[in-house]
Structure 1
């Protein structure tokens, strides 16, 4: 891998890592900022909520958050271990207890997602989407879309590496105009 490709990859990885980092777990409890206020959920009909849940089930949305609880427990434990190395064994044991106590809470994510879908689409739109996803084209979309998204992500990563080289070259050219080789 060239130096420029390494820079592009590092920038991409750093951006993704920063976006996923559990910043709240690294701060002492007293210093944590208050969570951003979420708008109150729109009132939705039970039928709209049911249709939203059906759509999310067809899209296998639960796969996105299935391991949320153990992942957050592990991230929190790791952050606590960094500041409390002498409690590493205890924190490992406590992590198992905490994960067990909070098992199943990831379902709150699915409920929230369904509420959001039901608030963003009308009941009839949700029913139409259910009908669409049950059609041959909708079924194909459900089957093919994850692969298309993965291919798109791969394309974006490749594009970012090439584009980073272009940006690097422009930096070097502009610095050369200033009499500074970098």
Structure 2
């Protein structure tokens, strides 16, 4: 009994000590990170990150619509916060690039970047948001209807098996 406990403790300690070695990913090369950042940029991922300041600025302006006496001070504070927002956005864009780099090879990322720089890739990017908006209009009611249908069918099948809901 004591031997088993000691063996388990030793195994646990060995696994804990080995965990950092398993968790470490291979170092990413500067060129791999560069192309990953390029993909994040050309696919619009970084635009979503950098747009946060603009959204913040718009929210402040919406608040100021009811508090015009604060406009001058608020505008100064918003402007002063821009460098901080830019720094945070750049940090997150670097993180996004690292995520892409860890998930995909440098060669694959180069192909993706080439596609999004091509005329068809640029058209895709330009129309993607509009297409997604259109799709969401169709997808929302479909999701509700399909979910309800599946639940109804589930209930029917469960009743056949003697269960009630």
1:50 equivalent in alignment to 2:22: no
> 1:64 aligned to 31, 41, 48, which one?
48
TM-score for the superposition, normalised by structure 1: 0.49
**Highest RCO, 1 vs 2 (Cα 8 Å, sep ≥ 6):** 1
Q: Secondary structure at the match of 1:43?
A: coil
Q: Which runs of 5+ in 2 are unaligned?
A: 1-22, 60-73
Residue 45 to residue 171, structure 1, CA distance change in 2 (3 Å): closer
Tell me which residue corresponds to 2:103. Answer: 120
Query: Residues of 2 paired with 1:174 and 1:125: CA distance?
Result: 46
What is the number of residues matched between the two proteins?
119
Query: Residues 45 and 123 of structure 1 are in contact (CA less than 8 Å); yes or no, is this contact kept in structure 2?
Result: no
Query: Residues 41 and 47 of structure 2 are in contact (CA less than 8 Å); yes or no, is this contact kept in structure 1?
Result: no
- The Cα of 1:174 is off from its aligned counterpart by 7.9
- The Cα of 1:61 is off from its aligned counterpart by 1.5
- The Cα of 1:138 is off from its aligned counterpart by 1.6
> 1:161 aligned to 136, 144, 150, which one?
144
Query: Residues of 2 paired with 1:165 and 1:41: CA distance?
Result: 44
Query: Residues of 1 paired with 2:158 and 2:33: CA distance?
Result: 57
Tell me which residue corresponds to 1:144. Answer: 127
Higher helix share: 2
Q: Which runs of 5+ in 1 are unaligned?
A: 1-38, 75-92
Query: Residues 44 and 118 of structure 1 are in contact (CA less than 8 Å); yes or no, is this contact kept in structure 2?
Result: yes
**RMSD across aligned C-alpha pairs, in angstroms?**
3.8
Query: Residues 43 and 119 of structure 1 are in contact (CA less than 8 Å); yes or no, is this contact kept in structure 2?
Result: no
